Structure 1
């Protein structure tokens, strides 16, 4: 299961990370003076739970232990952020030394609070040039204010997944590259029936699974914060333009109320009853996991993938997208930091380890060498997401001291816009900026 499919809600995750940050502040007195060649056992906690994912982790750990016979790794799977928080607060020998977290948005809190150790000294000591190992976008979301307190452990790229049979029936010969083409194709693919639909071209509302404001803002190239670190939603026209384009698509496909009524008939995002699987939608904004999940669900049509469309005036940038992923860090309170670094270094920078893990759980590799490795299993559908991850203008949401709270604030505003409840979008964005700045100042 992809990271964003975890059952913990975004708000609950952020609340847990707030508690984690508070609990760990001031506990970073441990120093990396342990001998990494001594016999030691590390506690490694991660969030994966599906049998195939757990097996893939165990296989990677087995290869690590073979290469580092003095280090044993005690692996604990299916660990939520609540459980991690409680363990780090309690401390002691059973607390995790190394943590893998799905909550990329909380990196700012990890770094700002001192919950995780800064990995820059470890990188320098090992002679690892992070700028030559990791794509630029992944480095941006794994550090905060120069503190590289986490490193990327695989990534997710977001694009367009579609029903090729529906495209052919509608006379569409290729996926849309610009937003105007996307809007036109979505209308062509929509089959209305009274106050509902037999099929919808795409579910454009922001409650529609992975159709999030942050995904679309990446296509417009919005800059969330200005040079002073202040929220920039009103200052950068990209955000207002994105919201206007999305609202226009909502209106052209039947309006918010009609679309939301139809959305209520959708199956769970992570089940075989996903609306793309069942033919209720012809296109879906989604990640690299969707084609494989659709095939596992037994779809009878051919799956196509493509980058998300870009604004018409940015056609030359087609191919970019939103990128996020899992992060890995070391407890700042741990007494085995040098040994812990050996595990983090192996899992995040060793090309064969990264490729093997990516192949096993069908996620995008997180190093430049792994992305280009001949050992990487690449189907035509998967290659789309590899290319998005490598695109120089792909982007992510920047780390902040309040974690992902600023994103939720923006998302709440976007909900109001698509409903038609916001009369003055520029003024609303300015108010949203003020709220974001207040929240971040409090977090700092």
Structure 2
């Protein structure tokens, strides 16, 4: 099971952090006075739960403790943002000092509420130039308005995973680079079976696992907010173009109702019964973990990976993708922030630590040095995602004071469009902008 989840937990996280924002009294400034060289015990909470992930964390902590024998780390795994936020509110010796979260969308809340300490003073004190350590896009989703309250801890890149065997059978010689090629390939790969499918080129609906509106919108590189911080969905033509293109693809592959009926037969996204593993879909918009998961599931076909197709008028940008990742921060209420920084600094900036962790759980490294490390285990399938992570046009969704609420609002609108409940997309986007601006104003 991959270590990074995003929109699957965003709604719960947003609700939990909203409560935290009203209760947190932590300061975002660095007033830490503890001596990191004295014997100390840190509480580190994270969300990983699979045995291989737990072992990877334990191995990383063991290496850290060997280098810092005075710092003992108590590790608690499988912690949701809800549990983490409750503990941060309660405080005390059992509360986490260092936190790792899968919910990148909540960084704006974490920073805005003061739940996590601003790491800029710690970075400066350690002589670390963050722009030279981390890719630009990763810094964008780990800070809010200059408050670097989290740092990247591994990275997810989204691309296209495809069934090479099915491609050959359909006479397709290479993965699609443009949207029109993508649509043609999806149609050619679709094999009907009565009122259902024997094989679907791709599940294009937004509930199709990682085929979320944010992933598809990234292909148009739109700006979610204007220079004044106002929601920009209606003004940036990329959003309407994406919504229109996706709805058109849904229609060409059988229509919303037929596709959704087929989707209800799919297995769990994180299980061996994933429809891509079973050959039910030939292409999948997914992260770097999908190819190794498919191999572990014992698929009988050859797997290929490629960047996601780009709009036809953006072919020069082919190779880009959508980036997200796990974040790591220090609780602003912790009395051991200098010691906590030593752990955070090691796990997020030490090249060997980042590479070892990335190798262990098959995620993309989150520092520039680790991305180029000769010790990084790079299969042909994995290299695609390394290249996407390095691509200068790869984008993410920006942090906002309302956390991931604005993304959920956009997603709800996208659902309505694909169902046919909304026909006037420009007018609908304008109303969505108003709702997003209202929600952000309340959050501030």
TM-score after normalising by structure 2: 0.98
| Distance (whole Å) between structure 1 residues aligned to residue 8 and residue 302 of structure 2 | 32
Contiguous gaps of at least 5 residues in structure 2: none
**Conserved 8 A contact 2:122-2:341:** yes
Q: Which aligned pairs between 1:15-54 and structure 2 lie closer than 5 A?
A: 15-26=15-26, 31-54=31-54
**Conserved 8 A contact 1:31-1:335:** no
Match of 1:74 in 2: 74
**Conserved 8 A contact 2:154-2:354:** yes
What is the deviation of 1:27? 6.0
| Distance (whole Å) between structure 2 residues aligned to residue 337 and residue 26 of structure 1 | 12
Match of 1:386 in 2: 386
**Conserved 8 A contact 1:30-1:335:** no
| Distance (whole Å) between structure 2 residues aligned to residue 258 and residue 190 of structure 1 | 13
Deviations 1:213-260 (A, max 9, x none): 000111101100000000000010000001111111001001111111
What is the deviation of 1:210? 0.2
Question: Which deviates more from structure 2 when the two are superposed, residues 5-14 or residues 422-431?
Answer: 5-14
2:383 is aligned with 1:409: no
Give the 3-state SS of the residue equivalent to 1:409 in structure 2.
Answer: helix
What is the deviation of 1:112? 0.3
| Distance (whole Å) between structure 2 residues aligned to residue 242 and residue 222 of structure 1 | 10
| Distance (whole Å) between structure 2 residues aligned to residue 323 and residue 21 of structure 1 | 26
2:194 is aligned with 1:194: yes
**Conserved 8 A contact 1:288-1:385:** yes
**Conserved 8 A contact 2:30-2:118:** no
Match of 2:312 in 1: 312
| Distance (whole Å) between structure 1 residues aligned to residue 186 and residue 177 of structure 2 | 13
What is the deviation of 1:17? 2.0
**Conserved 8 A contact 1:29-1:333:** no
What is the deviation of 1:25? 3.7
Q: Which aligned pairs between 1:38-437 and structure 2 lie closer than 5 A?
A: 38-437=38-437
Give the 3-state SS of the residue equivalent to 2:99 in structure 1.
Answer: strand
| Distance (whole Å) between structure 2 residues aligned to residue 431 and residue 4 of structure 1 | 32
4+ aligned runs moved over 3 Å, structure 1 = 3-9, 25-30
Give the 3-state SS of the residue equivalent to 1:327 in structure 2.
Answer: strand
| Distance (whole Å) between structure 2 residues aligned to residue 265 and residue 78 of structure 1 | 28
Contiguous gaps of at least 5 residues in structure 1: none
Give the 3-state SS of the residue equivalent to 1:202 in structure 2.
Answer: coil
Deviations 1:354-393 (A, max 9, x none): 0000000000000000000000000000000000000000
User: RMSD over aligned Cα, in angstroms?
Assistant: 1.3
| Distance (whole Å) between structure 1 residues aligned to residue 199 and residue 69 of structure 2 | 57
Deviations 1:92-139 (A, max 9, x none): 111110000111100000000110000000000100000000000000
What is the deviation of 1:23? 2.6
Q: 1:95 to 1:403 in 2, by over 3 A?
A: same
| Distance (whole Å) between structure 2 residues aligned to residue 140 and residue 10 of structure 1 | 18
Count residues in correspondence: 444
| Distance (whole Å) between structure 2 residues aligned to residue 9 and residue 122 of structure 1 | 29
Deviations 1:269-319 (A, max 9, x none): 111110001111000000000001101111000110000000000000000
Question: Which deviates more from structure 2 when the two are superposed, residues 168-177 or residues 192-201?
Answer: 192-201
Deviations 1:294-349 (A, max 9, x none): 01111000110000000000000000000000000001111111110010000000
| Distance (whole Å) between structure 1 residues aligned to residue 29 and residue 196 of structure 2 | 60
**Conserved 8 A contact 2:138-2:366:** yes
| Distance (whole Å) between structure 2 residues aligned to residue 7 and residue 267 of structure 1 | 19
**Conserved 8 A contact 1:97-1:336:** yes
TM-score after normalising by structure 1: 0.98
| Distance (whole Å) between structure 2 residues aligned to residue 25 and residue 279 of structure 1 | 52
| Distance (whole Å) between structure 2 residues aligned to residue 7 and residue 371 of structure 1 | 25
